[in-house]
Structure formats: structure tokens, C-alpha cells
């Protein structure tokens, strides 16, 4: 086997890929209730009654600017300290800087010094905001005092936490009473591509990570892996086992156990999941049977969670 090399995505390209024209944001503001009503119909009444999402969407309708406003809805950003958790290259810190918080801190387990320096300079020049980047595990932010943060924010991070309870406990510690934890995360484990890898060679393999025995999965992984992979991709995460492997209800239970009160929840449904079930209903049923009772048919459809939690 040839050893894989890893590269890092350009933060500007990542940020640009998340941004949308203003008119799309305006259009979604009108269409969002219709989009949510349509998406809800794909989930079972029992699941909806149990999980009680505030909205359900497919992969459209929640552009970055809207997610930022939604996440910070209970925070006065001009007076706030914002902690961006698991920032990676730092692109998401740049998006928060555009909202001009009083203080902005961004951390990751790994130091992305090159892009961090560029982003810090960009945020200072464009928004007059100083970004404090630090390399630190999410479970240990001892450099922050208890109750010193108004908003903890993360995108595509919680699905990679192998000790989510410790991450949530540290988040609760640094949050002030009444502070907000905002997180969007996915694809979560039982969705298509829940390992951030399966499905890269086509829809038929989208559930490989929960459909195959370990040896068969490993063979498929090796066959589809590229000589050069993104440092922040399934090609690396699979090797390191960086997955929470939780269902939506298990995430919600973890938040409650950590003493974080749920304020809002949005579910995102995978169009690939619906296409897979429609094309191969027998295979979909077999995957469900393999992972039951922990995983339900709805869990195989839900791609992502957006949560807003409050520290009492």
C-alpha cells in the first residue's frame, strides 16, 4: 500500500464556497417554511414526535450568513466573547469576525499556523477584529476562565469528538450562565457518507461504513483512497477513528447529561439517502436490520443536526 500524503484546503476557497448571493438569502427567508414542511414529510410521525425538531430541511435553505445569525440569536455580539471550536484552517473564524464580536478566540487540536496568520491579518484589516488562534484540545481549554465565553460555536466538529461528554463539559465550564453553544455537524454516523468517505465512488457505496463487515469495509476504503487526501477529510479521519458515531437522539441525550438546555434544533435530510432507499429498498432494509434497534430508518435519512443550546 502506498502511503497517503495530505494537503490542506485553502481557507479562502472554503469560505467562498459557503457564501451565497444576498438574493438567495432573501429568497430562502420566504421559502424556508415551505421547504421545511416538505422535508418533514420524509420522516416518520413517531420520530418527529420524539425528537421535536423546530425545522427540517434538505441540503438547501440554510446558507452560512443565516446560520451565523441563527446561532448567535441570543447573543449581543458587539459585547460578546466568541469561542470558535475546532476551527481547522480558520475559515469559520473569518466568517464570525465579519459579525464583529468584541473578542474572538479560535482553537483546534492542530496548529494551522500558515492560514491562521493570514486570517488574523485579514480579519484585522477587513473588520477591525483581532482573532486569537490557539492550538488546544477541545476537552481542555484551561487558558480560559470559568464563565468567560458568551458563545461557543462550531461547524462540522462534534461528529468527530470521540469523547463528546468531555468536550461538552469543558464547553459548559467556559460558558457564562445564559451563554449559547451553537453547533452544526454532519454527516452524522448513520447517514450516507457518515464516515466522510463512503460514497465517493458513487451512490451504491454511500452506506459502506454501516453496511459492511470491517474487513470488507477496509478493502473498499483502500480501493477508493487517493494518493493525496485533504488533511480534514474522511481519508484521514477513518485512519484516526475520529467519529462520535451517534444518532440524533444520542446527541440530544449527551447535551442533557452535560447540563446544557436545548433551545433550538434543526434536522437536515440527505437527498442521497432518499435516492438510495428509492433505488435499492432491499439493501436499505438490510442496512437498517444490521444496525437495529439502535438505528432507525429515520436515522439513516438524517444527515446533519443544527443545535442551539443554553448553559443554565
CATH number at residue 160: 3.40.50.150
> Would you say residue 115 lies in a domain?
yes
> Would you say residue 234 lies in a domain?
no
pLDDT at 236: 85
pLDDT digits (tens, 9 = 90+) for 222-253: 999 887 766 667 678 999 999 999 999 999 99
> Would you say residue 237 lies in a domain?
no
> Would you say residue 144 lies in a domain?
yes
Whether 108 has a pLDDT exceeding 60, the answer reads yes
> Would you say residue 81 lies in a domain?
yes
Instruction: Select the more confidently predicted residue: 239 or 257.
Output: 257
Half-sphere exposure of 174 (CA within 13 A, CB side): 24
> Would you say residue 295 lies in a domain?
no
Whether 220 has a pLDDT exceeding 70, the answer reads yes
For residue 250 the three cell numbers come to 444520542
Whether 22 has a pLDDT exceeding 90, the answer reads no
Rounded Cα–Cα distance for residues 251 and 110 (Å) = 25
Whether 77 has a pLDDT exceeding 70, the answer reads yes
Rounded Cα–Cα distance for residues 194 and 186 (Å) = 7
> Would you say residue 231 lies in a domain?
no
pLDDT at 270: 98
Provide the mean pLDDT of the chain.
94
As for how many domains the chain has, the answer is 1
Whether 2 has a pLDDT exceeding 50, the answer reads no
Domain with 135 in it: 5-193+242-274+302-310
Average pLDDT (64-68) is 94
> Would you say residue 25 lies in a domain?
yes
Amino acid at each position: 500500500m502506498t502511503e497517503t500524503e495530505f494537503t490542506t484546503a485553502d481557507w479562502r476557497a472554503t469560505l467562498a464556497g459557503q457564501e451565497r448571493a444576498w438574493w438567495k438569502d432573501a429568497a430562502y427567508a420566504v421559502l424556508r417554511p415551505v421547504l421545511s414542511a416538505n422535508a418533514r414529510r420524509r420522516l416518520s410521525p413517531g420520530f418527529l414526535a420524539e425528537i421535536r425538531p423546530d425545522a427540517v430541511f434538505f441540503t438547501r435553505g440554510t446558507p452560512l450568513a443565516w446560520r451565523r445569525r441563527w446561532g448567535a440569536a441570543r447573543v449581543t455580539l458587539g459585547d460578546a466573547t466568541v469561542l470558535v471550536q475546532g476551527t481547522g484552517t480558520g475559515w469559520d473564524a473569518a466568517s464570525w469576525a465579519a459579525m464583529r464580536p468584541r473578542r474572538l478566540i479560535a482553537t483546534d487540536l492542530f496548529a494551522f499556523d500558515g492560514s491562521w496568520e493570514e486570517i488574523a491579518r485579514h480579519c484585522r484589516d477587513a473588520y477591525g477584529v483581532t482573532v486569537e488562534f490557539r492550538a488546544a484540545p477541545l476537552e481542555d481549554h484551561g487558558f480560559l476562565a470559568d464563565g468567560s465565553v458568551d458563545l461557543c460555536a462550531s461547524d462540522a466538529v462534534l461528529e468527530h469528538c470521540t469523547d463528546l461528554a468531555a468536550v461538552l463539559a469543558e464547553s459548559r465550564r467556559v460558558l457564562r450562565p445564559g451563554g449559547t453553544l451553537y453547533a452544526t455537524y454532519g454527516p452524522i454516523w448513520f447517514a450516507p457518507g457518515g464516515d466522510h468517505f463512503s460514497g465517493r465512488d458513487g451512490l451504491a457505496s454511500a452506506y459502506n461504513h454501516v453496511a459492511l463487515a470491517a474487513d470488507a469495509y477496509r478493502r473498499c476504503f483502500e480501493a477508493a483512497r487517493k494518493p493525496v487526501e485533504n488533511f480534514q477529510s474522511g481519508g484521514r479521519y477513518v485512519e484516526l477513528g475520529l467519529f462520535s458515531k451517534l444518532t440524533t437522539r444520542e446527541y440530544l441525550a449527551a447535551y442533557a447529561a452535560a447540563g446544557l438546555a436545548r433551545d433550538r434544533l434543526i434536522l437536515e435530510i440527505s437527498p442521497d439517502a432518499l435516492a438510495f432507499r428509492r433505488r435499492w429498498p432491499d439493501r436499505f432494509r438490510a442496512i437498517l436490520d444490521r444496525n437495529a434497534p439502535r438505528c432507525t430508518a429515520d436515522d439513516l435519512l438524517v444527515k446533519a443536526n443544527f443545535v442551539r443550546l443554553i448553559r443554565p
